[in-house]
Structure 1
Amino acid sequence: MTGQDPTDPVQIDTSRPHPARMYDWYLGGKDNYPVDEEMGRQMLALDPRVPVMARVNRAFMHRATRWLAGQGVRQFLDIGTGIPTEPNLHQIAQQVAPDSRIVYCDNDPIVLAHAAALLRGTPEGATEYLQADVREPAAIIEGAKRVLDLDRPVALSLVALLHFVSDEDGAHELVDRLLSELPSGSYLTMTHATADFTPEEAAAATEKLKAAGVTLALRSREEFTRFFDGLELVDPGVEIVHKWHPELGDPVPGQDDGVIPGYGAVARKA
């Protein structure tokens, strides 16, 4: 299903940083390269809370998945999966409902190299991995159809992903295209970094990443909310990431009551 044989040698570009590997470095992982660490340290110099932001996004995914499974959702499409960091989405969903079916999707070859860790699910359910880019919605949907029943609700997860896709690359259109293939009762789960609270640091980070070949499209609360046009936002709506249903999970180490510069929300397709 990956479109590439996992036993083939994986070609990894280590000449420039990649968001998935930087995210892994922020989380204390070892599946990254000096170029990723170097850029990560530059981001830390601009805002030392970046590793906390990474953990907060991860914790949001846990809470949102737990909530969705509790609502009866049994199918999940997670795009921008990243390098496996336990617990993964399928582990959270299948703890609630062992028959949950999950398709992971990412465009970084290093994630493919570790995809086996994403495929150890329950015998009652299913987990699969698809090597594709969010900018290829047709390929993602075609691959997802092999595991998911698109006549039944699906939770589409885009956590800490769309701030790497610019408006020029059609970020909103990509989300609309993916949602158009999902039936009524499906959900959109998203988090997104913002410059609303730290504009100067955000501008500097955007320029540094741009020079390294990485797009960073930070959006305001209003721009982020646009992704949910036509959907029914789950209470409390668009919220600072760590303030979305905190009762569903544990606090993130290093997190306080201050503002973490990112938004999160879950919404239902009517």
Structure 2
Amino acid sequence: MEGHGNLERYVKWRKFKSNLILFFTFLTALYGLVWLVWIITDVTIKGFSNLSLDLLLKDPTPPGVEGGGLKHAFVGHLIITSLAVVLGVPIGIAAGVFFTEYGRYSRFVSLLRDLTDSIVSLPSIIVGTFIYAVMVKPVGHFFALSGSVSLALLMLPVIAITTAQMLKMVPDSLREAAYALGAYKWQVIKDVSLSVAKRGILTGVILGIARITGETAPLLFTSFNNNFTTYNIFEPMASLTVTIFVYVMGPYDDWHRKAWAASLILTIGTLMFFILAKILVRAKK
């Protein structure tokens, strides 16, 4: 009877600890949600009231003069991000294929995989300073292509890890069946592994793009900024994030209004990427 009583007290104590941890976890989640809702609401209210076609279609006016828009920043951000996608997506997918299809049982590849996992949490400003040291400083001036390279490095590990995980979920029996039919390894990877895992890989690509759309720090060290619309990737180029940073820190109310509107557009764009990724994940299930 005494042993049964001790067991009952132990079970009650375990339940109490479990409920206590769940309570604190709930409070932590609630704390984060409150700030998230507050930020999104503030950006939506202040940004929506300042939206206009001029913001998208006109170049900025001289400092202190009201009017104009942020066409230079939207164009520059699109160019820099698109180049980053072109650079980062193929390399990221190739790295994921290498991790899973060629080096699944290799210790060296396992080490590379661990390094890739650690790069995911690497602060973006460190990537920016690295690209500044190896690309910008030798050239002697900022330029847009270096900004694209820094963003590509940020999205690459996200895509590589997602691709590797999706390929691991492909049953080995499918690969063995393809080999039994006489397929070469590259054919098995292309027509079997990638074909089965393509939806999950696409989700990783979307998450990687969403990862870089709101980055500011790497671009401050690489593409820097420009007050005019330019399409030359070997010259400094404006980006939406850096322009928002400059306008928020500026002394003019007109700059602040444009920064709120641009922040809302950037937030909506990033949110759409995450929603699309969620839809793809649910469709996969």
TM-score range, shorter chain: under 0.3
**Larger strand share, 1 or 2:** 1
TM-score, length-scaled by structure 2: 0.26
Structure whose CA Rg is larger:
2
Higher relative CO (Cα under 8 Å, sequence separation at least 6) belongs to 2
TM-score, length-scaled by structure 1: 0.27
